[in-house]
Amino acid sequence: MFIRAYLRASTKEQDAKRAKNELIAFASDHGHKIAAFYIENESGATLERPKLMQLIDDAHDGDVILVEQIDRLARLNQTDWDTLKQKLSAKRLSVVSKELPTSYMALQQANSSEFMDSVLRAINDMLLDMLAAIARKDYEDRRYRQMQGIARAKAEGKYKGRRKDTEKRKIIASLLTAGHSYSEIQNMAKCSRQLIADVAKERPELIIAH
């Protein structure tokens, strides 16, 4: 069994590595070391996360994914959450979160009976679903409040909109013109797939197959 830690922040301005030392200490407290770290700055509301997908691809059957909180793993809608669970289930990957004590059993050697193990896993799966739903609800609530604030600012004539990063958009356009894939552009320009898609949408002649 390998423990693979997943750390995520939504924007480039946020520190995705913030909880790294806490997870190292947490694993140590349970008698384990973390074998690999997967760190990225992407929204938890999308499955388009290269590092998370790499983690799943790299993982061996029965490995553990360690996260600080479930919302680091997912703020997904129900369909995407079901898809992610299927990917995890295909390799029998267990999710361990500091906020979910019932998940800690994945870090322990199996001393309990098969019956108790099944009961604990059922409880943990139910709590995982609940926390994932809460994370999604929190995301939607914050988005709704943000839209309310924007609507109010527009009504008052105070909303200027987000300033576009013109230079980065030029770089992305050049990379698209050169035929680079979205994943390659993400790595080279340090940007989100959404920004690449926005540039491609503004410049249809740049759209290539991905």
Give the tens place of pLDDT for each residue, 137-193. Answer: 777 777 777 787 777 777 777 766 655 677 888 888 888 888 888 888 888 888 888
pLDDT one-digit tens code per residue, 74-129: 888 889 999 999 999 899 888 999 888 878 877 775 555 565 556 556 666 777 78
The number of beta carbons lying within 10 Å of the beta carbon of residue 8 is 25
Do residues 197 and 185 lie in contact, with contact meaning Cβ atoms separated by under 8 Å? no
In this structure, what are the phi and psi dihedrals at residue 57, rounded to the nearest 5 degrees?
-65, -40
Residue 38 has phi, psi (to 5 degrees) of -125, 115
Q: How far apart are CA 119 and CA 124, in angstroms?
A: 9
Active site residues: 10
Tell me whether residue 103 is exposed, middle or buried, using C-beta atoms within 10 angstroms of its C-beta: 0 to 12, 13 to 18, 19 or more: buried
Task: Please tell me the distance from the alpha carbon of residue 113 to that of residue 41, in angstroms, as a whole number.
Answer: 40
Q: Which residues contact 164 (CB under 8 A, 6 or more apart)?
A: none
Mean pLDDT computed over every residue of the chain: 82
pLDDT in tens, 27-69: 999 999 999 999 999 988 899 899 999 999 999 998 999 999 8
Q: Give pLDDT, residue 210.
A: 44
Q: What distance in Å separates the CA atoms of residue 114 and residue 106, rounded to the nearest whole number?
A: 14
Q: In this predicted model, what pLDDT tens digit does every residue of 194-206 receive, in sequence order? A: 888 888 887 666 5
